[in-house]
Amino acid sequence: MATLGEIIFWTMITLIVIFSALIILVLGVTLAGTPVEVESNDKLPIGNYGEDHLLSCFLPSQSGAQLSKVTVIWVKEGLTGVVYHYNDGAPALHDQNKVFKGRTQLFPNSVISGNGSLLLRNVRRTDSGIYTCTITSSIGRGTVKIHLRTAAYVAPQFTFRANTLTAEADRWFPKPNVTWQDLEGAELSGQTNVSTSGAIFAVVSSVTPAAIQQIFTCTIANDLVISVSTATIKASGVSVRTYVNFDAAPPLLASSPQLTFILCLLCITYSHLAA
């Protein structure tokens, strides 16, 4: 028969074990709900029609450390179902919207390090919109919003025949404008034809140089994409260098009622102060 001291001892041990388990459970629940920072390398990306695009989403504080119980959920505003759902080591796509079936993927080897970036294949015009990436793991939970815009763009091809320099680009959207400049930056008078096939625009633009071995700049631009090409005419043909820039400023007033309200409030305040 156990003595009173033994009973007290084993009772205390039992209570310690129970309380320890409760503390671990509470800590697990608390940490799972702890806000953590989630970032993106580009919150205003522009996807090119027909090409693949990576939507960036990651935990910057992990620095390659492996996590446990990682869940990544991508959703798009105004769309039912998920864009992609990854849960603790495997895709969970039973609720995936049919628009994204077979067109999205995550990278499991990166997910365990806190990288939930989404590869979107074969970008479509309708893919534009606001996406939310949520990462939940053993260290907490966080989200980031990404405003994907879509366009069609391609670097122009140049030819030089009969003393005429011609740039052709067969895939642009929205409709672009074309400008020509000489080496000093003075605008030149070129001839441009923009045709359309469905929603895609094709551009053919030409300028007549005054002499051989001159350098010209051809800029093709719309509200989202700017393609700048430097073409150098040589006796052997045309040497071209092209770079592409993207507009990083979406229509904020149209997409943010809160910002509209704040600006209106500031305007009212200013008018009262001015009076």
How much is the pLDDT for 25? 44
Residue 141: closest CA among 104, 116, 108: 116
The 8 Å CB, 24+ separation contacts for 239-246 are: 240/158, 242/155, 242/156, 244/153, 244/155, 246/46
According to DSSP, the residues that pair with 159 across neighbouring strands are: 166
| Residue type for position 44 | L
Could you tell me which residue, 251 or 124, shows the higher pLDDT? 124
Question: Which of left, alpha, beta for 254 (phi over 0: left; psi -120 to 50: alpha)?
Answer: alpha
**Phi then psi dihedrals of residue 263, to 5 deg:** -65, -40
Task: Evaluate the omega torsion of the peptide bond into residue 174 and state whether it is cis, within 30 degrees of 0.
Answer: yes
Tokens 């094709």 identify what position? Answer: 202
Over residues 131-166, the pLDDT tens digits come to: 999 999 888 899 999 999 999 999 999 999 988 999
Using the predicted structure, report yes or no on whether residue 266 has a pLDDT greater than 80: no
Whether the CA torsion 208, 209, 213, 218 is positive or negative: it is: negative
The 3-state DSSP class for residue 122 equals: coil
Confidence at residue 256, expressed as pLDDT on a 0 to 100 scale: 40
As a whole number of angstroms, the distance between CA 81 and CA 100 comes to 10
19's CB contacts (< 8 A; 6+ apart) are: none
Alpha-carbon span 39 to 4, nearest angstrom: 59
Q: What is the DSSP letter of 98?
A: G
Cβ neighbors of 58 (< 8 A, separation 6 or more) are 38, 39, 40, 114, 115, 116, 117, 135
In whole angstroms, how far apart are CA 87 and each of 34, 38, 70, 110, 114? 18, 17, 6, 14, 13
The per-residue pLDDT for 34 is 78
Mean pLDDT within 250-271: 36
Over the stretch 45-61, which tens digit does the pLDDT of each residue have?
999 999 999 999 999 87
**CA–CA separation, 73 and 61 (whole Å):** 19
pLDDT of amino acid 77? 97
Instruction: Tell me how long the chain is.
Output: 275
Is the distance from CB of 227 to CB of 244 less than 8 angstroms? Answer: yes
What is the model's pLDDT at position 223?
94
pLDDT digits (tens, 9 = 90+) for 191-243: 999 999 888 999 999 999 867 668 999 999 999 999 999 999 988 889 999 99
pTM: 0.74
Give the domains, in start order, of the chain with CATH numbers: 46-150 (2.60.40.10), 157-246 (2.60.40.10)
